[in-house]
Amino acid sequence: MKSLVGLLVVAMICVLGYWFFLRQAGSTPEGAATPQQTIDVVGVKNDLISIAQAERAYQAQHGTYASMVELVSSGALAGAKSDRGGYTYEVEASSTDFRVVAHCPATPQQTCTSYFVDASMEVQNLP
């Protein structure tokens, strides 16, 4: 009898784990509704991290943060896709801090989320 109860408990845990996994696997990133938008949002977040890493590398070499133009011309930033789902990138840099913003191409037919990253290297939704 104990083994039957134990088997039922294990089966219940497996079913709950499977349900939870399927629920998480079907979720999309915030600001994305279609598969292409999901791909774009993930790409934009990766671009933001790449640009932030370039800012850190530039700051280590020059002692200050740089604009997007300076990052590209110095060679610190190469390969960031400039048009990913219509998002545009902007770097707000000072001598002591930076913030990289990905602006969303919101239209009346489609809503989306703008993102930013700063020295914390954590991509966040733009308020």
List, for residues 63-109, the tens digit of each pLDDT value. Answer: 999 988 888 888 888 766 666 778 889 999 988 899 999 998 877 66
> Would the pTM of this model clear 0.85, i.e. be above it?
no
Which of 90, 86, 92, 118 shows the shortest CA–CA distance to 104? 86
66's CB contacts (< 8 A; 6+ apart) are 55, 58, 59, 74, 76, 91, 93
The pairing of strands 88-93 and 115-118 is unpaired
Mean pLDDT of the chain: 82
The pairing of strands 98-103 and 115-118 is antiparallel
The pairing of strands 88-93 and 124-125 is unpaired
